[in-house]
Amino acid sequence: MRRDASPFLRFWVEFAENRLALFALGVVVLVVGAAILAPLFTPQDPYDIGKLVLGDARRPPGHVGSGGYVHLLGTDAQGRDLWSAILYGLRISIQIGVTAGVVAFIVGGSLGTIAAFAGGRTEALIMRFIDLQLSFPAILLALVISAILGQGKWQLTIALVASQYAYFARTAHGAAVSERAKEYIEAALSTPLSSRVVVFRHILPNCMPPLIVVATVQIANAISLEATLSFLGLGLPVTHPSLGTLISNGFQYMLSGRYWISIYPGIALIVLILAVNLVGDQIRDQLNPRLQR
């Protein structure tokens, strides 16, 4: 590799050295691609209630339904083709996970940076509140918020953001405090630049590496938390099933041996979470200055 290669190229080359992480990245791309292009690969629109036939309900994998096509992974209790329902469910899960992660990133990141820059009372107030929230388990908070707001995509996203932004805020605050003490910030402050420019153009970009690490963990967490809430019946309604809802619906039939309704959505879920976590692990190792070679 040339010495003057761009930092992104260097990062990529180092990333590609870890075969497992590279494979995981491939899986993430594949799963996300399949979810986005779901209508192209699925024989049925699982949200079109008019097309669901109850006679097709709870059929094992390989059953040829009344629609005339093979249900590769079987059907669920509403007669949905599971393969279609899984791809559409992945869509919802990824959408909610990524939205929640990004919003929490923005809200938490700015809050933490602003607190570090403002200092004094403002900082103490913001950080005390965040410490308080962090001492509370995220799942309980999400549980209560989604119970208050009710079922639905947006309600769920809000619950996830509210229970996750604090991790970003704490991380951003820690990084920003150490950046703020450095000389280049002092130099930037001595120029007539507004403090907003200093915060967002100078401090924030330098706090990015730890925030990105938190983001990879939190997106995987958000997807998992969404599935958990849906499983508990507090997430998405049965008419628009996410992976968690699908698993939850199948759970009651599992004891009678109809394993496929729960198992296949579950496999899709863990493949996604596992792959995101493996990619995140590698990124964390590369961004951690303590492990720098």
Partner 1 sequence: MLGFLIQRLLQAAAVMVVISALVFVGVFAIGNPIDVLIAPDATQDIRLDTIRRYGFDQPLWKQYLNFVTSLVQGDFGRSFVFNMPVLQLILSRLPATLELTLVAVIGATIIGVPLGMYAGYRPYATASRAIMGLSVLGFSLPTFWIGILFIMGFAVELGWLPAGGRGDTVEVWGVQWSVLTLNGWSHLVLPALTLSLFRMALMIRMARAGMREAMLSDYVRFARAQGISDSKVIFGHVLKNISIPLVTVFGLELAATMAFAVVTETIFSWPGLGKLIIDSIQSLDRPVMVAYLMLVAFLFIMINFSVDIAYAALDPRVRSGRT
Interface positions with partner 1 (CB under 8 A):
132, 135-137, 139-140, 143-145, 147-148, 220, 224, 227-228, 231-234, 244, 247, 251, 254-255, 257, 259, 262-263, 266, 269-270, 273-274, 277-278, 281, 290
C-beta of 169 vs 185, nearer to partner 1: 169
From the CB of 236, what's the least distance to partner 1, in Å? 15
Q: What token pair was written down for 93?
A: 């899960």
Measured from the CB atom, is 60 or 67 closer to partner 1? 60
Task: Find the shortest distance in angstroms from Cβ 165 to partner 1.
Answer: 16
Residue type for position 231: F
Residue type, 272: L
Angle between helices 260-287 and 208-231 (to 10 degrees): 170
Residue type, 229: L
Which tokens go with 178?
């150490």
Least Å from the CB of residue 264 to partner 1: 12
CB 137 within 8 A of CB 226: no
Q: Are 224 and 238 in contact (CB under 8 A)?
A: no
Cβ at position 82, least distance to partner 1 in Å: 16
Looking at beta carbons only, is 204 or 214 nearer to partner 1? 214
* Minimum CB–partner distance for residue 147 and partner 1 (Å): 5
CB of 238 to partner 1, least distance (A): 15
Tokens of 166: 């604090």
- Note whether 248 and 233 are within 8 A (CB): yes
Question: Bridge-partner residues for 117, per DSSP?
Answer: none
Residue 20 or 197 with smaller CB distance to partner 1? 20
Distance CA 161, CA 158 (A): 5
Whichever of 203 and 217 has its CB closer to partner 1, that residue is 217
Q: What is the CA radius of gyration of the chain?
A: 23
DSSP secondary structure letter of residue 209? H
Task: Please give the Cα distance from 248 to 245 (Å, whole number).
Answer: 5
Between 65 and 89, name the residue whose CB sits nearer to partner 1.
89
